[in-house]
Chains A and B, each alone.
Chain A
Amino acid sequence: MRTPFAALTLSALLAATPASAEKLTIWVVGDETTPKILQPAVDLYKKDHPNVTFEVRAVPGDQAFTKYLAALASRSGPDIITGYLSYGIEIGKKGGLLNLQEKYPALVSSVRKTANKGILDSITSVDGNVYALPYDLTVQLMYYRKDLVKTPPRTWAELTATLDKLRASGNKGLVQQWGNAGWVGFFPYLKQAGGNLYDAKCTQATINSAAGVTALTYYAQLYTKYKGPTDGWPDMEQGLENGDYALGMTGNWSMQSIRTGRPKLAGKWGITMLPKGPSGKSTAFEGGSLIGIMSYTRVPDLAADFIKQLYSTRTTVAMIKGANELGTLWLPAGRQDLVTQVNLPADQKAILMRQLSDSDGPPNCPGWEQSGDAVQKAVQQVVFNGASPKAALDDAAKTMNANLSKYGK
């Protein structure tokens, strides 16, 4: 009696878990739309690999890091994650993500050829390791009211001249949203002035260079002289719609949300590149997210194969189109050449592409994650407390250098 029962149980177990079936669990940062953006990639992969099953789940941005850490601590959860740009080096160096450069060098080198350079640089550690690959990107743009600003400003001088005119006519001028009065907001001005946060090899902070001081002096006056709003995240779209502001700076997401959610602005608004600084560059800040494989996964090769497929033309185009149908603008950070597939009017698409070619992501230097607050403080000391830009940047540089030594070991 015993043997037939055991055989029955064994066959039942085998039937329940077919040996060939594999599962990929993917957690994507964002709202409930984000898994839908990935869905075309999942569908295409399942078509070619019918035995693979997927579980794709959205993780709200403010909870993502906590949830990923909990998954790492328990060594269970997702096989693949998407996360903000800082996650790659931060989690990867500590052994939380697979070192793709070591384990899948061919994949990394193929993505290198097509990825957005700024994003790729941001997520490649100084020793050349890559713990995650670019997934999507966002970039700063300048938005303006066509009826209030006939010619959008192209240089710093033109920007302040435009603001003078606007304020003289009772308009409030410029509203900045993404990184308002903080390091993200200051970042493009620093680059446009020819400065940088660190030197090229991440050996020391260079934020307190002459270019840095020029940039901060100029940036601060947008708040002190031109009275830009200083709320953490002002409502730029509302400001443009009611005509309070004629100019606004934020990420590319507003191109879509203004079109779908601000009918009163139809025909009245446009985008332009950020104004050129003394260096002649219009550099914008780039953010976005990356995709990586958790170090504990039991299916690393399958995860890598799925990620490899993400960068194929067929999959990327399907994802862009899927996002277009959802009314979202999804810019593939791994296939900059395919950004042109996004659903935008030709003139806006041209400006977006030009801005993308002159944009940069956050630095990859050790200790930057711990130093961002010091740069933020320097900017705000000048804007709110009237501190000297040089002294404030010297303080920031001191903290950045201390963190370079501390975290660069």
Chain B
Amino acid sequence: MTNHAPARVQNAAPPAPYRRAHPARRFLTQHAPALGLTLPFLILFALFGIWPVLRSLYLSFTDYDAISTPTLIGTANYSTLLADPRFVKALTNTATYMVGTSLLSTALGLLLALVFGGQRLSDQIMRACFFLPSVAGGVGLISVFKWLFSSEDFGLINTLRQWLSLDPVRFLGSPMYAVPILIALGVWGLMGYNMILFVAGLRSIPGDIYEAAAIDGANPTQRFWRITLPLLRPTLLFVLVTSMIGAFQEFFSFYFLFSDTSNVGGILDSGLSLVVYLYDLGFRHLQMGMASALAWILFLMLFALTLLNLKLGRINDID
């Protein structure tokens, strides 16, 4: 047999078995330029995004007053909080506020989108009017609500009641009205924003589906329940999840309507939310460990809520 292989090959050592590079190394080799470009962002994100979150997780297991060195105390902060009546009150208020605000702002946002979703000038003006509170929010909006609901005769609602020969109501000075007023304020600020999202969602539904349904004899109610609502499900889910998260994290309306120089949370904590309580613990009482624990409880609740929402969305998908 003649060996036809070139001498160079014949003399060479047998090839090493093929070895795949380590995935991390391969990733680095493949994406080195992109990583180089994104490195400044990644460093900043790790420093100001990831590190504070991990640090707060550590602090939640410590006794820390923001000045002295933190000392590890295990899960004591969590157990103290769960047995704390102020935490329970804050949780009840926040949950009520969240349910009321997210459901009402979603329903009203959808209603407004259905009524003013058209292209006429009047629709555009109405949309702008309803959207205004969500861009002009903040302390100014809360001040207006403070005036609207003032217990005094110069409060707008009490002035109207007086014209109708009704006694004034202590809206801001009575525990029973605190959460309903906060819900009203939250819905007013949020429904216009939700309306815009729903308008976009409605426009993405193809018109020929409605035409086909109309030809088949479906009335407007049937078209809404059988076509509009199912096809709006992604928007609906997004609006609900973001409204719930926003409501859970609300601070300013609770703080500015119901806190004064000597306490936060208003009468018998009727206007105390979880975030306001977190602020109270951390920045009025220097209990940073406890405040961090509350922040993590808040995170876990929001995470569970979001998972639940997504799960419900998927169940509908399968159906």
Known: A72-B66, A96-B67, A369-B285. A230 touches B174 (CB 8 A): yes
Q: Which of B55-73 contact A (CB under 8 A)?
A: 65-68
Chain A residues lying within 8 Å of B283, measured Cβ to Cβ, are 65-66, 69
Do A232 and B258 have beta carbons less than 8 Å apart?
yes
Which of B31-39, B206-214, B235-243, B263-271 faces chain A? B263-271
What is the CA–CA distance of A381 and B65 in the complex, to the nearest angstrom? Answer: 31
- Within 8 Å of chain B (Cβ to Cβ): is A164? no
> Which residue of chain A has the shortest Cβ distance to B271 in the bound complex?
A232
Q: Which of A178, A230, A287 contacts B170 (CB 8 A)?
A: A230
Do A229 and B173 have beta carbons less than 8 Å apart?
yes
Chain A residues lying within 8 Å of B258, measured Cβ to Cβ, are 232
What is the CA–CA distance of A380 and B153 in the complex, to the nearest angstrom? Answer: 23
Do A231 and B268 have beta carbons less than 8 Å apart?
no
Do A184 and B262 have beta carbons less than 8 Å apart?
yes
Q: CB-defined interface of A373-388 with B at 8 Å, one 1/0 digit per residue?
A: 1001100110011000
**Which has the most chain A C-beta neighbours within 10 Å: B86, B262, B265?**
B262
Which secondary structure dominates where chain B touches chain A? loop
- Within 8 Å of chain B (Cβ to Cβ): is A169? no
Do A231 and B262 have beta carbons less than 8 Å apart?
no
Do B68 and A95 have beta carbons less than 8 Å apart?
yes
Do B262 and A94 have beta carbons less than 8 Å apart?
no
**Which has the most chain B C-beta neighbours within 10 Å: A72, A181, A231, A377?**
A231
- Within 8 Å of chain A (Cβ to Cβ): is B261? yes
Do A384 and B152 have beta carbons less than 8 Å apart?
no
Do A238 and B67 have beta carbons less than 8 Å apart?
no
Q: Which of B73-100 contact A (CB under 8 A)?
A: 86
What is the CA–CA distance of A94 and B286 in the complex, to the nearest angstrom? Answer: 10
What is the CA–CA distance of A90 and B284 in the complex, to the nearest angstrom? Answer: 10
- Within 8 Å of chain A (Cβ to Cβ): is B154? yes
Do A182 and B67 have beta carbons less than 8 Å apart?
no
Q: CB-defined interface of A237-267 with B at 8 Å, one 1/0 digit per residue?
A: 0110010100000000000000000000000
- Within 8 Å of chain B (Cβ to Cβ): is A372? yes
Do A232 and B67 have beta carbons less than 8 Å apart?
no
Do A376 and B263 have beta carbons less than 8 Å apart?
yes
Do B262 and A179 have beta carbons less than 8 Å apart?
yes
- Within 8 Å of chain B (Cβ to Cβ): is A54? no
- Within 8 Å of chain A (Cβ to Cβ): is B175? yes
Known: A229-B170, A231-B173. A69 touches B262 (CB 8 A): no
Q: Which of B66, B152, B170, B285 contacts A239 (CB 8 A)?
A: B152
Smallest CB separation, B71 vs chain A (Å): 13
What is the CA–CA distance of A96 and B286 in the complex, to the nearest angstrom? Answer: 12
Chain A residues lying within 8 Å of B263, measured Cβ to Cβ, are 182-183, 372-373, 376
Smallest CB separation, A112 vs chain B (Å): 26
Do B262 and A372 have beta carbons less than 8 Å apart?
yes
Do A182 and B153 have beta carbons less than 8 Å apart?
no
Do B267 and A381 have beta carbons less than 8 Å apart?
no
Chain B residues lying within 8 Å of A242, measured Cβ to Cβ, are 153-154
Give the number of chain B interface residues (Cβ < 8 Å).
30
Q: Which of B225-277 contact A (CB under 8 A)?
A: 258-263, 265-269
Smallest CB separation, B154 vs chain A (Å): 6
Chain B residues lying within 8 Å of A95, measured Cβ to Cβ, are 67-68
Smallest CB separation, B86 vs chain A (Å): 8
- Within 8 Å of chain B (Cβ to Cβ): is A370? yes
Do B286 and A238 have beta carbons less than 8 Å apart?
no
What is the CA–CA distance of A90 and B68 in the complex, to the nearest angstrom? Answer: 12
- Within 8 Å of chain B (Cβ to Cβ): is A234? yes
Q: Which of A155-193 contact B (CB under 8 A)?
A: 178-184
Q: Which of A229, A232, A244 contacts B266 (CB 8 A)?
A: A232
What is the CA–CA distance of A270 and B290 in the complex, to the nearest angstrom? Answer: 47
What is the CA–CA distance of A232 and B151 in the complex, to the nearest angstrom? Answer: 10
**Which has the most chain B C-beta neighbours within 10 Å: A181, A233, A244, A384?**
A384
- Within 8 Å of chain B (Cβ to Cβ): is A235? yes
Do A376 and B262 have beta carbons less than 8 Å apart?
yes
- Within 8 Å of chain A (Cβ to Cβ): is B172? yes
Do A230 and B154 have beta carbons less than 8 Å apart?
no
- Within 8 Å of chain B (Cβ to Cβ): is A91? yes
Chain B residues lying within 8 Å of A178, measured Cβ to Cβ, are 261
What is the CA–CA distance of A181 and B262 in the complex, to the nearest angstrom? Answer: 11
Do A234 and B152 have beta carbons less than 8 Å apart?
yes
What is the CA–CA distance of A384 and B267 in the complex, to the nearest angstrom? Answer: 8
Q: CB-defined interface of B119-161 with A at 8 Å, one 1/0 digit per residue?
A: 0000000000000000000000000000000111110000000
Known: A95-B67, A179-B262, A229-B170. A377 touches B268 (CB 8 A): yes
Do A69 and B66 have beta carbons less than 8 Å apart?
yes
Chain B residues lying within 8 Å of A370, measured Cβ to Cβ, are 285
- Within 8 Å of chain B (Cβ to Cβ): is A73? yes
Q: Which of A328-378 contact B (CB under 8 A)?
A: 369-370, 372-373, 376-377
> Which residue of chain A has the shortest Cβ distance to B269 in the bound complex?
A377
Smallest CB separation, A344 vs chain B (Å): 23
What is the CA–CA distance of A328 and B170 in the complex, to the nearest angstrom? Answer: 32
Do A384 and B268 have beta carbons less than 8 Å apart?
yes
> Which residue of chain B has the shortest Cβ distance to A380 in the bound complex?
B268
Q: Which of A204-244 contact B (CB under 8 A)?
A: 229-235, 238-239, 242, 244
Chain A residues lying within 8 Å of B266, measured Cβ to Cβ, are 232
Known: A231-B172, A384-B268. A244 touches B262 (CB 8 A): no
Smallest CB separation, B194 vs chain A (Å): 30
Known: A229-B170, A230-B174, A385-B268. A94 touches B151 (CB 8 A): no
Instruction: Give 9 closest A-B pairs by Cβ, nearest first.
Output: A230-B173, A94-B67, A231-B173, A232-B260, A231-B172, A69-B66, A96-B67, A184-B262, A380-B268
Can you give 21 contacting A-B residue pairs, CB < 8 Å? A65-B283, A69-B66, A69-B67, A91-B67, A94-B67, A179-B261, A229-B173, A230-B170, A231-B150, A231-B172, A232-B172, A232-B266, A234-B152, A235-B152, A238-B154, A242-B154, A287-B261, A376-B262, A380-B267, A381-B268, A384-B175
- Residues of B near any A CB (own CB < 8 A): 65-68, 86, 150-154, 170, 172-175, 258-263, 265-269, 283-286
